[in-house]
Structure 1
Amino acid sequence: SGAKAVSIKEGIIKASREVVTRLLAKSKPIETQGDIENVATISSGQKEIGHIIASAMEKVTKKGVISVDESKGFETELEVVQGLKYDKGYISPHFVTNKENMSVDFEQAAVLVTDHKISNLQEIRSLLEEVVKNSTPLLIIAASFENDAIGALVFNKISGVFNVVATEAPGFGDNQRELLQDIAALTQATFISKDLNMKLQNANSQYLGKISKVVIKKDDTVLIGTEKNKNLEERIQEIEAKIQKALNENASEYELKNLKSRLAKLSGGIAIIKVGAATETELKEKKLRIEDALNATQAAITEGIVVGGGKALVEVYKELKDNLIDSNVDIQKGLNIVLESLLIPTYQIAENAGFDGDSVVKEQLKQKDNYGFDAKEGQYVDLIKE
């Protein structure tokens, strides 16, 4: 009562930033295959899941694209297919087909690839008519879209005239054209290029590519093929030659980085974890568990890991409790709110396991290094080794 909310908020923000800084300083990098498997196993609670996530990352690298799908069988399997991911999502949420994930999921879709701006649907009318005739889902990748074109595509999608989704092309300038040609090679589409004076109005179904599966979210698109085709193999060889030339000519780091990134995307493929289970309920639960473990593992690879069980937060509390001080009473209240919250995870873990939370927190504050409370065994152990 009487406290200034703005000052309390200032204290909360100040303390939170300090906590994050301390946690990052304590984090240890994930380096080995064993580390990855351990993180995924701990996150999921199942060794089988930890192993399959680690295997997926080994096959497509730590930063590769990994998709989680439902299998028609009982077993959970790993498959690596051709594909790539780019950092552009759907241009309107009205295209969404999967409300749960807020994504557009198409299978066996036709693909239009162009660096033209699409102003209205008249420009691609003949293509759309053929798509409607064949009842094929269509992915349109273009440099940009006028509002009239977006509105018309959304209207036809919602009206059930045709199944369509549109994304803007990734990159910009020369790099955008190269990326579009990469996508065209993967999908076996004909790249409708402004530089070659190719007109959208002249395009027919022969210009369209094909992709086995596409998953488009708000900010990114994943294209999943089946196996390497001749166009893709030639494109990969072309990029490899450009990398060699760039090295010989001492090209800029930026150019080399772009070329290597494109090569990795085209040649690395996409790992698909196909989740199998005996019942629909088990399947949904297992798929969510794998997705959560995958997200946790990817985050750990990016930022490292700290000691679990609330131990890292307790250590930060010990470091800050006598140092996080402000002369402003209300700011101090905000600081204290964050400080006290650092002990809650340890308290709650102990309570959930049937132990006295206050006693465990009190004992945890005395423990040094990596020693902390193992709620499963009810003992204080080296949490890193365990």
Structure 2
Amino acid sequence: MSEIFYSTITNGEDAKQKIKNGVNKGANAVGSTMGYRGQLCLISKGGLPDPTKDGYTVSEAIFLEDPVESLAWETVKQSAQKTVDEAADGTTATCVLTQAFLNNSFDELEKGEKSAIEIKQEIEKSRDKIVAYLDELAIPITDEMIYHVAKTSANGDEEIAQLITDAYKQAGENGSVGFVNSNNDNTFIEHTEGTLVERGFVNERFVNVHSTQSVVLEDNPLVLISNINFTTIKQIVPFLEFAVQNNRELLIISELDYNVEEAILVNKVKYNHRFCIVKPPAIGKKREELLMDLALVCNTEMISSLSGADFTGREAMYLGTAKSVVVTKENTVIVRHDDTPIEAINGKVAELKEQAKLADKNYVLRKNIESRIAKLSGGISMIKVGGITPAEVEEKIARVDDAVGAVRSAKEEGIVAGGGMALLSAIDKLDLDEVTKKSISAPFMRILANADFKLPLAKEEKVWSLKEIVKVLFNCFKEDDVITLKAPNYPNGYDVKNFKEVNMFDAGIIDAKKVVKNALINSISASNTLLRSANVLTYKNK
């Protein structure tokens, strides 16, 4: 017998209060990690402690018991996930901004002067002004600034910031930076010069350097790249004979029937021919694109279904050249030959960069294009993250993930002053609605609240409230218990590490504009959705 589910409808003041509760509970926990002096959150995983200062990890770990509160928080999580998909960072900022926009919107609604639709429309008009303003503020990132963007995103972790800076420098302008678990206590960078193919040799009997269990072809090897399956030995013999006659090493990247593969392997073992077979990575269109890119790197033409079946006399047309090739069980690295024309590769990279801009909202497609650019450019840096305990490694990987993503976003759209100052400065510069004015100060206010610091007053020292701090620091004034912010001249802001006003760029407190922009857009979307949710339907079984 199938289960019977009943709908529970929550509406009116009850719905509004539970929506606010759900958002506030989640955002308070996530927001507590924000800024240099943000706090750790201890998460239970299978009864074991998992301490983290990563907003995304905290957000994903929160599941509220009340079904209405849970739905509200899941809405915030979806908006934060969209920010991460688009900008690779910004979970905490999205949650904090959503909380501020929602609470201030409900307060405005309670005045009875405007409808939810009118409030929504005013906020969206202000949003568009702020996005345009951020575009004006943004400046291109320099190599020196990479360290500061990474440090800000990694919550002030200097070790992670330096690793990411070194990784990007080694990878080059168009190179790729990634990260994996190092499976030991150490954290380090492993850089690969050349084009990485995520496939290794098909049989370990091709190995010619047994100390490293690898195939090393280092004397300008020939490279055959095929998108067809060689079903008979007759098809591939012309290429094998060409390599032998010219005393050249040969790398074959292709699908081959088992009998063809075995015949090549027998020749390699019996006559010590320097051959190696690697299966092509990926499938379908993605495989074809990767193989065509490899053909550019090796200055040759990819064999396709249109190339025919008999290659006698046409071997040279489909045989490219590399400077060297190293093949392991998992990966193949091809180093481009010095004589390979760079113009065609640069042209393809430029074309892919334009495609990446058009694919900005499609995370999977954009990542694929970025990977192709890195392979064509020939520089890949992998950060191997280690630690003493699994919890430490997981927490460090989360911060590396945020920082790598923030730098990538900064390289795409530039940087702005961090610490919430880019949004805060918009209050004085733009004609904004009241809800937006109050809400966009939230990241700055949260960073100060997390700092919980003391300021000297005359000859005594006391703990200042958040409102007092804001009022004194930035010349704010108070009317009817409402704090009106008057921001310092951009890009000045407040450094909660050293407790003083600074030029944020000089102090290295920097955000990627793309992260700030998407956090703003997605938080407003989530807040407006919840603001207009008059009824909440949840389900329970009989």
TMscore range, shorter length? 0.5 to 0.7
What is the rounded CA distance, in whole Å, between the counterparts of 1:376 and 1:304 in structure 2? 24
What is the rounded CA distance, in whole Å, between the counterparts of 2:349 and 2:147 in structure 1? 32
Cα 1:63–1:285 shift into 2, 3 Å: same
Cα 1:283–1:11 shift into 2, 3 Å: same
Counterpart check, 1:20 vs 2:131: yes
Partner of 2:266: none
Q: What is the SS of the residue equivalent to 2:434?
A: helix
Which of the numbers 164, 176, 188 marks the counterpart of 1:77? 188
Cα 1:83–1:285 shift into 2, 3 Å: farther
Partner of 2:232: none
2:188 and 2:384 in contact (8 A); partners too: yes
Mapping for residues 288-303 of structure 1, pairs under 5 Å = 288-303=398-413
Cα 1:379–1:267 shift into 2, 3 Å: closer
Which of the numbers 309, 314, 318 marks the counterpart of 2:419? 309
> CA shift at 1:77, angstroms?
1.6
> CA shift at 1:304, angstroms?
2.0
What is the rounded CA distance, in whole Å, between the counterparts of 2:489 and 2:282 in structure 1? 58
Q: What is the SS of the residue equivalent to 1:339?
A: helix
Q: What is the SS of the residue equivalent to 1:306?
A: strand
What is the rounded CA distance, in whole Å, between the counterparts of 1:293 and 1:259 in structure 2? 24
Query: Aligned AA for 1:380?
Result: E
Deviations 1:73-92 (A, max 9, x none): 32222122255589xxxxxx
What is the rounded CA distance, in whole Å, between the counterparts of 1:6 and 1:211 in structure 2? 61
Partner of 1:179: 293
1:81 and 1:271 in contact (8 A); partners too: yes
Query: Aligned AA for 1:169?
Result: E
What is the rounded CA distance, in whole Å, between the counterparts of 2:291 and 2:384 in structure 1? 34
What is the rounded CA distance, in whole Å, between the counterparts of 2:441 and 2:447 in structure 1? 10
> CA shift at 1:62, angstroms?
3.4
> CA shift at 1:127, angstroms?
6.1
Which of the numbers 284, 289, 298 marks the counterpart of 1:142? 284
> CA shift at 1:39, angstroms?
1.9
> CA shift at 1:28, angstroms?
2.5
> CA shift at 1:359, angstroms?
2.5
Deviations 1:218-264 (A, max 9, x none): xxxxxx53464xxx53xx63334x659xxxxxxxx967956999897
What is the rounded CA distance, in whole Å, between the counterparts of 2:352 and 2:492 in structure 1? 46
Partner of 1:279: 389
2:227 and 2:288 in contact (8 A); partners too: yes
> CA shift at 1:49, angstroms?
1.6
What is the rounded CA distance, in whole Å, between the counterparts of 1:4 and 1:198 in structure 2? 71
> CA shift at 1:115, angstroms?
4.9
Cα 1:372–1:267 shift into 2, 3 Å: closer
What is the rounded CA distance, in whole Å, between the counterparts of 1:212 and 1:17 in structure 2? 51
Cα 1:371–1:140 shift into 2, 3 Å: closer
2:189 and 2:384 in contact (8 A); partners too: yes
Query: Aligned AA for 2:168?
Result: M
What is the rounded CA distance, in whole Å, between the counterparts of 2:281 and 2:293 in structure 1? 16
Superposition RMSD in Å: 4.5
Partner of 1:329: none
What is the rounded CA distance, in whole Å, between the counterparts of 1:309 and 1:256 in structure 2? 34
> CA shift at 1:68, angstroms?
0.5
1:69 and 1:273 in contact (8 A); partners too: yes
What is the rounded CA distance, in whole Å, between the counterparts of 2:348 and 2:392 in structure 1? 47
Partner of 2:446: 348
Cα 1:377–1:58 shift into 2, 3 Å: closer
What is the rounded CA distance, in whole Å, between the counterparts of 1:369 and 1:179 in structure 2? 44
Cα 1:77–1:126 shift into 2, 3 Å: same
1:83 and 1:225 in contact (8 A); partners too: no
1:64 and 1:270 in contact (8 A); partners too: yes
TM-score by length of 1: 0.59
Partner of 2:341: 239
Which has more radius of gyration? 2
> CA shift at 1:47, angstroms?
1.9
Deviations 1:253-301 (A, max 9, x none): 9679569998974452211111122222211111221111111112122
Partner of 1:169: 288
TM-score by length of 2: 0.43
Q: How many residues align?
A: 282
Cα 1:84–1:5 shift into 2, 3 Å: farther
> CA shift at 1:55, angstroms?
1.4
Q: Which runs of 5+ in 1 are unaligned?
A: 87-105, 118-123, 144-166, 171-175, 200-208, 215-223, 245-252, 325-334
What is the rounded CA distance, in whole Å, between the counterparts of 2:279 and 2:145 in structure 1? 41
Partner of 1:40: 150
Q: What is the SS of the residue equivalent to 1:238?
A: coil
Partner of 1:384: 505
Counterpart check, 1:9 vs 2:120: yes
Query: Aligned AA for 2:437?
Result: L
Counterpart check, 1:373 vs 2:487: no
Q: What is the SS of the residue equivalent to 1:15?
A: helix
1:346 and 1:361 in contact (8 A); partners too: no
